[in-house]
Amino acid sequence: MMVRNPGDDWRKRLVTMLFDLAGRFPGGDPLLPPLSMRRFVGEGSWIHGGRDFRANGLHFAEKFSKDARLIPDGSLLDVGSGCGRIAVPLTRFLKPTGRYAGLELSLPLVQWCSKHISLRYPNFRFIHCNLYSPFYNPQGSGDAANYAFPFDAGTFDVVAATSVFTHLLPQAATRYLQECSRVLASRGRLFATFYLLDEGMPDVGHSITFDHELAPHAFVNDPANPEAAVGYRTRWILQEAEEAGFSLLSPIRWGPWAGRPFTYSGQDVLILEKTSDRG
């Protein structure tokens, strides 16, 4: 077993702080969040210029346009908007008549996006949802299993939830499917990523294994920290989606996380269309 050096975390924090300070100098990209924020939401690269942040955001923005049929004067809700990974490329796609709303657990990320993105693009709005999350908002007081999105029914053309359901326990996953359906217009689309377990478990040596059963339809990688990674049986997710008023719009796009080749995106992608108001 590899012994961890206690100084590693200290050195990483110092390097991150120096990168953050460097990013404040004039001439930098005003829409590139500090490295500390990008790493907080999962960016693995230490590259100062935010190459992964930009590439991943553009990847999803293009998928929303092509496959979820987002149009330049349309409206999108980004559930788990983070520090603007998806919002930033959409500032170049959505017209001023279009509309973007981001829901995020971390208040500092919401504040940064409001200051740097909304100030320049008033049709982009970021909202803090103060839900408890052991990773992203440990001081939160709300419960995702009972959360109502702060929007009227039928508000959006597209809802995006990338790396959201992969952190939701079953009751919360059902609730979020219902809320995504409720805030979508008729024939609106949900673009959501999952770990779906019916097409083979991860190869030996992968960091995610889902060896621990939480329920017959739900498995976790680490029972001590279940929300770190949650995988679901495909049939159960599709049943819950149907109950919420969705139909599968296109074939499932399987991700490479379980050892398959990379063909579409990093996780398994469902693109669902709202076909009834049961949600």
Per-residue pLDDT of 243-276, as tens digits, reads 999 999 999 999 988 888 899 999 999 999 999 8
277/120 Cα distance (integer angstroms): 36
Least confident of 88-92, 162-166, 206-210, 224-228: 206-210
Q: Which residues touch 268 (CB under 8 Å, ≥6 apart)? A: 193, 194, 195, 196, 252, 253, 254, 255, 257
Give per-residue pLDDT as tens, 141-155: 999 999 999 999 999
Q: What is the pLDDT of residue 206?
A: 64
Look at residue 36 and tell me whether its pLDDT is greater than 70: yes
Q: What is the pLDDT of residue 43?
A: 73
- Mean pLDDT score of the chain, rounded to an integer? 87
- pLDDT of 24 reads 52
Considering the chain, what percentage of its residues have pLDDT values greater than 90?
A: 69
pLDDT score for 183: 98
For residue 158, report the phi and psi dihedrals to the nearest 5 degrees.
Answer: -140, 140
CA-to-CA distance for 192 and 169, rounded, in angstroms?
15
Q: What is the pLDDT of residue 4?
A: 40
Q: What is the mean pLDDT of residues 211-222?
A: 92
The pLDDT value recorded for residue 205 is 54
Residue 21 in this model has a pLDDT that exceeds 70: no
pLDDT band of residue 18 (cuts 50, 70, 90) is very low
What's the average model confidence in pLDDT over 4-10? 45
What's the CA gap between 151 and 84, in Å, rounded? 20
Q: What is the mean pLDDT of residues 159-188?
A: 97
User: What are the residue ranges spanned by the domains of the chain?
Assistant: 53-274
At 34, the pLDDT band (50, 70, 90 cuts) reads: confident
Q: Is domain 53-274 given the CATH code 3.40.50.150 in the classification?
A: yes
pTM: 0.88
Model pLDDT, residue 275: 95
pLDDT of residue 29: 80
- How much is the pLDDT for 47? 63
